[in-house]
Amino acid sequence: MEEEILNIQTPVVFNESVAHYEIHAYKPYASSTLNNSNEIRITVQHQDLYILPSKNSVHIHGRLLKPDVEIGRSKNVGLISLMKGYASLHPGQTWLMENAGWLDVEEKKKSTDAESNFYALIPLRMILGFVKDYRMIVVNAKHESILTRSKTDVNAIMQTQEEEFEITINAVDRLIPYLKLADQKKVDLLNFIQRDPPILMSFRSWELYEYPLLPTISKRVWTLFLNSQSYPDGYLNLYMSRNLYALLYEMYANFQATYDDKNPEPLLTKSEFLRDVPLFVIHCSKLNESSEYRPVDIRLEIEAKANFSAETSAYCLILHDRIVEYNQLSLAQW
Range of the domain at 66: 16-72+111-202
Same domain, 130 and 181: yes
Instruction: For residue 77, report the phi and psi dihedrals to the nearest 5 degrees.
Output: -55, -35
Q: Is 77 among the domain residues?
A: no
Does the residue 287 lie in any domain?
yes
Asked if 222 and 301 touch (Cβ cutoff 8 Å), the reply is yes
Instruction: Tell me the DSSP string of 153-168.
Output: -TTSS--SS----EEE
Report the number of distinct structural domains present in the chain.
2
- For the stretch 96-136, pLDDT in tens is 788 888 776 666 677 788 888 888 888 888 888 888 888 88
Q: With respect to residue 6, please indicate whether it lies within any of the assigned structural domains.
A: no
Model's pTM, two decimal places? 0.76
- 269 and 180 within one domain: no
Mean pLDDT, the chain, rounded, equals: 77
Query: What value does the mean pLDDT take over residues 29-34?
Result: 69
* 216, 139: one domain: no
Q: Which residue has the higher pLDDT, 222 or 176?
A: 176
Q: Could you tell me if 35 and 170 lie in one domain?
A: yes
Please report the DSSP string for 279-293 in residue order.
----------HHHHT
Same domain membership, residue 250 and residue 139: no
Could you say which DSSP state residue 89 is in? -
Contact between residue 126 and residue 85 where contact means Cβ atoms under 8 Å apart: yes
Q: 1 in a domain, yes or no?
A: no
Residues 115, 70: contact at Cβ < 8 Å? yes
Asked if pLDDT for residue 172 goes beyond 60, the answer is: yes
Q: What residue type is 318 in one-letter code?
A: I
Rg (CA), the chain: 23
**One domain for residues 308 and 159:** no
Regarding whether 315 and 231 lie in a shared domain, the answer is yes
List, for residues 206-258, the tens digit of each pLDDT value: 888 888 887 777 765 546 566 667 777 677 778 888 888 888 899 999 998 88
Q: Would you say residue 329 has pLDDT above 70?
A: no
C-alpha to C-alpha distances, 125 to 103, 129, 332, nearest whole angstrom: 18, 7, 23
Q: Is the pLDDT of residue 316 over 80?
A: yes
